[in-house]
Structure 1
Amino acid sequence: MTILITGANGHLGRHVIARLLARGTAPQNLVAGVRDMSKGDDLAAQGLTVIPLDYTRPDTIAAAMEGVDQVLLISSSEVGRRTAQHQSVIDAASAAGVAKFVYTSAPKATTSDLVLAPEHKATEEAIAAAGLPAVILRNNWYTENYAADLARAAETGIIAASAGEGRVASASRADFADAAAVILMGENHIGQVYELGGDVAWTYAELAQAAGEVLGRDVTYHALSPEEHAAALAAAGLDAGTAGFVVALDAGIRAGALGDTDGTLSRLIGRPTTPLVDGLRALL
């Protein structure tokens, strides 16, 4: 069984590889697709096959599928370009006749109003249209997403956002990667859509409290209106488009887009998910 991991040298990709190896997958059964081959030397040193795979170059994607049984498509980080990039991977996997296609999507991708959801919805629809034997992993937020907030809190004692009382069921990248490893190594998952999140959904006030515990100082949450948030981001140097995107993300959180948790992730990986405090502490 040969498994191709796209974006293998990224944060999530590296965690997935680590968990596959830890769970007993032989390195020679893993193919690491990387855009920049110079960044895959350490993976090759572990015994993996490292190949060029660029979401914007379909020829590299088709070549990467040769002899592959399973594919993990880690969603592209290029917001606004993902749908076309993912389609190239879907087309190549379909032509290659892979036995299992796993995709890292977003929470409730087909019904959510979250600003990130449409591209994931389109990708899920493309996977279904291609008739691929697929498993969809709808990953909630990574706790690592809050590294910048933690750094600012260390300097200012403030976490500012317009998320209101919305909750986030975050978990560590390692937790989500472990779930991907379980799916890739296991059977009877084809056709499943898994909503994955941390065991505890927290508010931003609780995020501030956890940050204070990690940093050893008082940290408070400043709840901003969307307008105040946009103005603060602009004052910090963000362009209007980026600031609007961040405010829109917080609007989704405020509306509850990331607040659901039913224990599916912890059941898949066979252990509790990483608590918020521990996830933040790891960022230090």
Structure 2
Amino acid sequence: MSIAPALPAGLNPVRLRPAQPLEGRARARRTDAIVSDLRDVRRQADAHELTRQLIETNAAVARSMASRYRNRGIDLDDLEQVALLGLTKAAQRFDPAAGHDFLSFAVPTIRGELRRHFRDSGWMVRPPRRVQDLQTRIAGAQEELEPRLGRSPRPSELAAHLGEDTSDVVEALAADGCFTPTSLDAPVADGSSSIGDLLGGEDRALAQTEAKVMLDPLMRGLTARDRRILQLRFFQEQTQQEIAESVGLTQAQVSRVLTRILADMRVGLVERHVAA
């Protein structure tokens, strides 16, 4: 799947892979120094270069955020490109004179790009839009509540945090599998069969029984000649000319009789359905 959006012109994604990624405090110090330089920059070319350095310095953060969404139906490489696009947008919009921390500004933008990408492109089975939107909000609430609670939040806690009904939160959580539904080839608990092996097949006998129940009363209302014509046409698969020779009619007469019989039976089926 190749669905990642392109980065803006002038920012080659290859250049966003530093040979020695910065860690923790070193990245923060480097980011602060670049932001300080951006405050004092005068030339547009210098500003563009500093913005590129800001993206390069924090590219590992974007990739780390993308990795949280791995194994959910979209290739990690595509997710990383989406995250880098979010980082690039944040760097281009960032106002160094406002006094904000760059990552505090960038992280929501990156997360928003990833969630939007999943919302628009990641569903194999598409649930209602309200479920998709609520699931996006639940993901954000989980990230916020887990550090505070020291565990995964319960559906009731998520519902209270979001101001939603618990039943709606449970429905959205259950839809998580729509990103990557379980394969029918996946083994069941005992390992001797797959999920597909346990699914029932079409029961042709059931369909025949239903047809018999519906058609028997209508067949009993036909004349003996009409029943014979139907028998010859649909069970013995004779042509209209062969039927005509068997019952003493012309081919045109057989055609008209069949048209009448079938029309009467359709009316009878509709009336029985309405009455039921």
**Into which bin does the TM-score normalised by the smaller protein fall?**
under 0.3
Larger Rg: 2
Higher helix proportion (structure 1 or 2): 2
Question: RCO greater where, 1 or 2, for CA within 8 Å and sep 6 or more?
Answer: 1
Q: TM-score, normalised by structure 1?
A: 0.23
Q: TM-score, normalised by structure 2?
A: 0.23
